[in-house]
Amino acid sequence: MRIAMLSSIAWRTPPRHYGPWENVASLLTEGLVSCGVDVTLFATADSQTSGTLHAICPTGYEEDSSLIPKVWECLHISELFDHAGEFDIIHNNFDFLPLTYTGLTTTPVVTTIHGFSSPGILPVYKKYNNKVFYVSISDADRSPDLDYIKTIHHGLDIQQFDFQPDPDDYLLFFGRIHHDKGARQAIEIARACKKKLILAGIIQDRAYYDQYVAPHLDNGQVVYVGSVGPVERNRMLGNACALLHPIQFDEPFGLSVIESMACGTPVVAFDRGSMPELIENGKSGFLVENLDQAIEAVARINEIDRAYCRRHVERHFTAGRMIKEYIQVYETILGSEIL
């Protein structure tokens, strides 16, 4: 059994800091290889894998501004499909563009839809519906216009996250600095609660950062630390008394939510998108409707059993569970067991 795993090339696989799609592609690849599956990872040349690395793009275009994204994306995707006949399954983690190549091969293609960046991309997915096998990352993120073979929630390597039973007294915002993620609302919540807030993540919208975040930074109560790598992420998540996730859009999944709970840190999230699928309200965090409810939830955060948060992730959101479910999808498509 040979599987081609197509990762994004915005960042290295696995990412040094930010890169959720690359992170999932890496976890899938490493988990499948550990199960004895022959996996070729199509990613940037500086990527790291225990499988076979096949690369055409030297590094992530978000990490090297001299690389023109569309040029290298075309080279990267076409490189895989030039070799499509060598594989039993192609697993696309690269959004909609690879779908346009699928008519050139008879190799089955599984596409994990990591979210719809806008309704404008849906026509591509609709064109290849029933030709490509779609996997959704949450039930909330399914389009009624598409058919899906399965919903598979993301998992994580639980060993990368240390359980912290005794946190500090700060709140954490961990995500893109962008309207969608609600950094502005996180600052309002923290100030109303009179608690320190640490913000971590890439600045995806500079104008938003300049208007709603930068004026409040004081290196005391509101601190922005930039994008952080795995070691610092583990420390910051574990030491926070709560993760604030006041999203302003219907979140397709939310890796930082399960990463936080893996460290024992409960999440206060707006009740949108996939959040009810990830958080047990009142047990591993609080689902709220507005800022006032979020402020009330922070005041009650000590009611949450941090050990329960960790167990919740161990039961539902491990990489091992995710790998098992993807293997089942591959077997369904091929009509035979692959292990």
Same topology between domain 2-155+318-334 and domain 158-316 = yes
Superfamily of 158-316 according to CATH: Glycogen Phosphorylase B; (3.40.50.2000)
pLDDT, mean of residues 9-28: 94
Segment 166-221, tens digit of pLDDT: 999 999 999 999 999 999 999 999 999 999 999 999 999 999 999 999 999 997 89
Secondary structure (DSSP) of 274-312:
THHHH--BTTTEEEESSHHHHHHHHHTGGGS-HHHHHHH
CATH topology of domain 2-155+318-334: Rossmann fold (3.40.50)
pLDDT of residue 201: 95
pLDDT of residue 1: 85
Q: What is the DSSP letter of 61?
A: T
Hey, what are 72's tokens?
Answer: 């290298």
Confidence grade of residue 117 (pLDDT, cut at 50, 70, 90):
confident
First to last CA, the chain: 8
pLDDT of residue 339: 57
Spatial separation of the C-alpha atoms in residues 170 and 190, rounded to whole Å: 9
Confidence grade of residue 241 (pLDDT, cut at 50, 70, 90):
very high
> Domain coordinates of the chain in residue numbers?
2-155+318-334, 158-316
Strand partners, 244: 268
Single out the residue of 50, 48, 47 nearest to residue 58, CA to CA.
47
- Percentage of the chain beyond pLDDT 90 is 94
pLDDT of residue 219: 77
pTM above 0.85, yes or no: yes
User: Left, alpha or beta for 300 (phi > 0: left; psi -120 to 50: alpha)?
Assistant: alpha
Segment 134-144, tens digit of pLDDT: 999 999 999 99
Spatial separation of the C-alpha atoms in residues 29 and 112, rounded to whole Å: 14
Segment 293-312, tens digit of pLDDT: 999 999 999 999 999 999 99
Q: Is 41 within 8 Å of 53 (Cβ atoms)?
A: yes
pLDDT, mean of residues 306-333: 97
pLDDT of residue 210: 98
Average pLDDT over the chain, rounded to whole?
Answer: 96
pLDDT of residue 53: 98
Confidence grade of residue 253 (pLDDT, cut at 50, 70, 90):
very high
Assess whether pLDDT exceeds 90 at residue 78: yes
Confidence grade of residue 119 (pLDDT, cut at 50, 70, 90):
confident
